[in-house]
Structure 1
Amino acid sequence: MRAGLLRHRVTLQNNLIGANNYGEAVDYWQDITTVWARVSPSAGRELFSAQQFYHEISQTVTLRYRSDVTPSLRLVFEGRYLEILSVINPDERNRELILACREWVHA
């Protein structure tokens, strides 16, 4: 993988569940690390649900191989949140990962 193609900074986040001052369960996202990646939009569509329009944007994110990347994580890219749908390790060579991601935007 050519390093010059990885020109975006993305932060990997893990979803954790904790408790607030009243003992109620609260989920929050914790930063794991920030890595170089290539982010490229692949498709988009508009949906109408609960009296609101939403834009769904599919993104493909390529980054160097990491063994801890799973669909339970999410990415933060320029203040936007990307849900990881699938993680592909091309040819099982542990050199790079290709992530299929989805971003929801309120219209």
Structure 2
Amino acid sequence: MNPGKLNRKVAIEFPRAENDGMGGRSVAWIPLCSVWACFEKPAATTEIQQGGVVSAVTYPVTIRYRADVKPGCRLIYAGRTYRILDVWDIGMELTRMNCEEVKRNAP
């Protein structure tokens, strides 16, 4: 891959469960790294769940090789949060991820 295509600075965080002080647990997001990434053309899928049509848009994202990025981490870019669904390495040069944007519904 042309290094010039890694043109977006992203942050990657991993989850850590912590006690909330009331007998429960909550998830804290801990910064893992800040890297340059390449977002590629998104892919959309639709399926029927509970009698309704649900669509999901996934974004292939490529970064330089990192062994510590795993599914379940999240990626932050331009104020948007993406859940990392799949991770695979392309040799020892690049790491590719499928990410899905986390949508927050207003109350």
Q: Scaled by the length of structure 2, what TM-score is found?
A: 0.78
* Cα shift at 1:61: 0.3
C-alpha contact 1:7 1:37 (8 A) present in aligned 2: yes
The CA distance in 2 between the partners of 1:96 and 1:29, in whole Å, is: 24
2:56 paired residue number = 56
Distance 1:20 1:28 in 2: 10
Amino acid at match of 2:99: C
- Measure how far apart 1:45 and its partner are: 5.6
Give the drift of 1:7.
0.5
Q: Which portions of structure 1, spanning 4 or more consecutive aligned residues, are displaced by more than 6 angstroms?
A: 46-50
Structure 2: any 5+ residue segments left out of the alignment? Answer: none
Cα distance in 1 for residues equivalent to 2:15 and 2:6: 25
Equivalent position amino acid for 2:101 in 1? E
Name the structure where strand makes up a greater proportion of residues: 1
What RMSD in Å do the two structures reach over aligned CA positions? Answer: 2.6
Alpha-carbon contact 1:55-1:104 (below 8 Å) kept: no
Cα 1:8–1:40 change in 2 (3 A) is same
Gap regions ≥5 residues in structure 1: none
The percentage of aligned residue pairs carrying the same residue is 26
